């Protein structure tokens, strides 16, 4: 699953792992634990992810399968890693408030909202993976979370039946 920061990825990913028994990986946490960075972005005031090191770090776990990956981008992950990609979408007003509440300001806040307006993450996913495996899900209301968990859980169960 992939999407702009502040749209509910982590909550969804953890809930899915609990319901399906799949392994949950938060790429941001993995990067932080292993210091998988390549410098610091002064403009955005955040570390720059070393994508090659992240892939090296996750390769063994991903090759075993059964993994939910949570990150706000996706185009650097190998296509072979995923059977399905979910992009969570949030209404800009909701997103703006969520990011403000997280302490985002200025350029970082505006660029993340612009990212959602222009469907940047969705288009990135469509360009990186086969179109038929990329799906958008709404993530505005608490009810959306439950619906998304249900829908993805059903998909996982069906995939397991079809592939085992």
Distance CA 115, CA 118 (A): 5
| CB-count burial class (<10 Å; 0-12, 13-18, 19+) for 94 | middle
Annotated binding site: 6, 8-11, 102
- Residue pair 23/62 in contact (Cβ under 8 Å)? The answer is no
Distance CA 108, CA 99 (A): 9
Annotated binding site for ATP: 6, 8-11, 102
């Amino acid at each position: 699953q992939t999407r702009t920061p502040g749209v509910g990825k982590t909550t969804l990913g953890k809930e899915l792992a609990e319901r399906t028994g799949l392994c949950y990986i938060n790429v941001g946490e993995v990067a932080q634990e292993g210091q998988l960075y390549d410098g610091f972005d002064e403009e955005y005031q955040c570390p720059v992810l070393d994508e090659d090191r992240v892939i090296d770090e996750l390769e063994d776990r991903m090759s075993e399968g059964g993994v939910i990956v949570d990150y706000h981008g996706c185009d650097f992950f190998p296509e072979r890693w995923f059977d399905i990609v979910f992009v969570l979408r949030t209404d800009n007003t909701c997103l703006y408030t969520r990011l403000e509440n997280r302490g985002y300001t200025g350029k970082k806040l505006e660029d993340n909202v612009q990212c959602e307006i222009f469907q940047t993450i969705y288009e990135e996913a469509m360009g990186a993976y086969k179109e038929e495996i990329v799906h958008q899900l709404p993530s505005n209301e608490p009810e959306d979370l439950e619906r998304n968990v249900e829908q993805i859980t059903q998909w996982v169960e069906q995939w397991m039946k079809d592939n085992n």
